[in-house]
């Protein structure tokens, strides 16, 4: 078999163009799902794919599939995907690297006039970050039948804008039924978003599993009153409940920190949120995860007790109004194929468990799936200082390229 190499400079230039669409501060990106910036990046991606000879299919949740045809017109495609949306204060590589490596694979095949047996597709999943619309990875989970399509379309951002309306507004509501665009198999390359590879000075990790994670949106409901004359005993302050819960969530994370468990309060919404008035309603978004799925369930029990305790201490009502959970189901054959390919082209790889959620998590339940991690410097991510080193990224991209081509030709 002939082994191929990606064009590192072309990949880098492509990343640089992306890094100017939604630029935030000197070095970051703010390209929230279904924003004008997201639209501009999608337009750029579609143009690049069409220039590379691909046909474009878009489903009802805005997931994009750019196809390079194979010799077998009945075969399902081998897909490479990730996301182009970012956090509000995000970096230039999280998700984007995986999508643009998919494009680079197609360009390398064009350069070499290679036609694979199965088609190859570069895919974009909508709203992976979940930073504008919860839950995260909502469009890939809906593709996998794990979330209801209407539920996703009706999710709202902080300004009350609906996912479905914003999707239509930017012109990316396609007609293909969500989930109907089937895959033979699915590969995703992503920056590690942690320090393990960078600390070990290694370039590639094959993802063999993922930390089980939970996300929850909790609502506390109290009663407005004047902060002055209202006695402590007569108060129903939901923000106090949120504070008590937030502190406890942080403690629950520290209890399992030695085993690399963690828990987070990231988001609070408080109404009317004004000086002088005890608020009426406060929402908190929390997240907790652990390498051991059984321990995550123990954490969940503790979190539920902490919610009740915070409500009781503050004399308010509590309700979990949204809950999501994710854990991947990566395919053993694909994991083996990635190892075999790495060995054949003399690339050193390690194995890793993913701590962050990825679109491949959902896809892994409907198509054989695998993931490759490449390093990010100091593990910094979801931050404008997220950086990668091209020399340490090329090996992982070459593994993706050769593994996908071989899998498409099997």
Toward a copy of itself, which CB reaches closer, 143 or 214? 214
Toward a copy of itself, which CB reaches closer, 177 or 273? 273
Contact flags string 265-304 toward a copy of itself, x per CB under 8 A:
xxxxxx-xxxxxxxxx----x-x-x---------------
- State the minimum distance, in angstroms, from the CB of residue 290 to a copy of itself: 11
- State the minimum distance, in angstroms, from the CB of residue 87 to a copy of itself: 5
Toward a copy of itself, which CB reaches closer, 77 or 136? 136
Dihedral pair phi/psi, residue 236, rounded to 5°: -130, 80
Q: Segment near a copy of itself (CB under 8 A), from 4-12, 102-110, 145-153, 259-267?
A: 259-267
Are the C-beta atoms of residues 32 and 140 closer than 8 Å to each other?
no
Distance CA 172, CA 331 (A): 31
Q: Segment near a copy of itself (CB under 8 A), from 5-13, 48-56, 58-66, 226-234?
A: 226-234
What burial class does residue 44 get, using C-beta atoms within 10 Å of its C-beta: 0-12 exposed, 13-18 middle, 19+ buried? middle
Contact flags string 361-380 toward a copy of itself, x per CB under 8 A:
------------------xx
Please enumerate in sequence order all residues whose Cβ is within 8 A of that of 280, keeping only pairs 6 or more positions apart, or say none.
221, 222, 223, 224, 238, 271, 272
Q: Segment near a copy of itself (CB under 8 A), from 7-15, 82-90, 292-300, 328-336?
A: 82-90
Residues in the chain: 410
> Taking each helix axis from N to C terminus, what angle separates 96-111 and 8-18, rounded to the nearest 10 degrees?
140
Distances from the Cα of 322 to the Cα of 214, 218, 234, 300, 325, angstroms: 11, 7, 29, 14, 10
Please tell me whether residue 382 binds a copy of itself under the rule CB under 8 A: yes
Give one word for 63, left, alpha or beta, with left for phi > 0 and alpha for psi -120 to 50: beta
* Contact pick of 95, 130, 370, 375 for a copy of itself (by CB under 8 A): 130
- State the minimum distance, in angstroms, from the CB of residue 403 to a copy of itself: 24
How crowded is residue 294: how many other Cβ atoms within 10 Å of its Cβ? 9
* Contact pick of 107, 262, 290, 337 for a copy of itself (by CB under 8 A): 262
């Amino acid at each position: 078999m002939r082994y191929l190499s990606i064009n590192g400079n072309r990949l880098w230039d492509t990343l640089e163009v992306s890094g100017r669409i939604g630029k935030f501060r000197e070095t970051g990106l703010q390209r929230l799902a279904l924003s004008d910036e997201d639209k501009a990046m999608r337009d750029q991606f579609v143009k690049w794919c069409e220039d590379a000879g691909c046909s474009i299919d878009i489903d009802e949740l805005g997931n994009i599939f750019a196809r390079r045809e194979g010799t077998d017109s009945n075969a399902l495609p081998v897909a490479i995907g990730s996301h182009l949306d970012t956090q509000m204060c995000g970096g230039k590589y999280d998700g984007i690297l995986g999508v643009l490596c998919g494009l680079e694979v197609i360009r390398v095949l064009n350069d070499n006039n290679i036609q694979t047996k199965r088609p190859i597709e570069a895919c974009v999943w909508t709203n992976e970050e979940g930073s504008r619309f919860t839950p995260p990875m909502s469009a890939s989970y809906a593709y996998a039948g794990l979330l209801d399509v209407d539920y996703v379309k009706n999710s709202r951002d902080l300004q009350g804008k609906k996912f479905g309306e914003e999707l239509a507004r930017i012109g990316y509501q396609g007609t293909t039924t969500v989930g109907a665009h089937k895959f033979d198999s699915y590969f995703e390359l992503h920056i590690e978003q942690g320090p393990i590879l960078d600390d070990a000075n290694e370039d590639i990790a094959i993802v063999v599993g993922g930390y089980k994670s939970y996300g929850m949106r909790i609502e506390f409901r109290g009663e407005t009153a004047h902060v002055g004359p209202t006695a402590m005993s007569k108060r129903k302050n939901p923000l106090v409940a949120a504070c008590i819960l937030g502190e406890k969530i942080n403690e629950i994370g520290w209890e399992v920190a030695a085993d690399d468990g963690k828990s987070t309060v990231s988001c609070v919404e408080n109404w009317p949120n004004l000086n002088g008035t005890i608020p009426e309603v406060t929402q908190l978004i929390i997240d907790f995860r652990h390498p051991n799925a059984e321990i995550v369930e123990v954490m969940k029990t503790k979190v539920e007790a902490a919610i009740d305790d915070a409500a009781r201490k503050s004399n308010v009502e509590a309700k979990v109004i949204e809950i999501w959970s994710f854990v991947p189901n990566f395919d053993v054959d694909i994991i083996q194929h990635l190892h075999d390919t790495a060995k054949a082209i003399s690339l050193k790889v390690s194995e890793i468990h993913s701590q962050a959620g990825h679109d491949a998590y959902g896809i892994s339940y409907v198509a054989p799936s695998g993931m490759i991690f490449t390093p990010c410097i100091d593990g910094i991510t979801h931050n404008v200082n997220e950086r990668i080193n091209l020399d340490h990224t090329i090996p992982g991209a070459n593994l993706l390229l050769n593994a996908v081509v071989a899998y498409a030709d099997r």
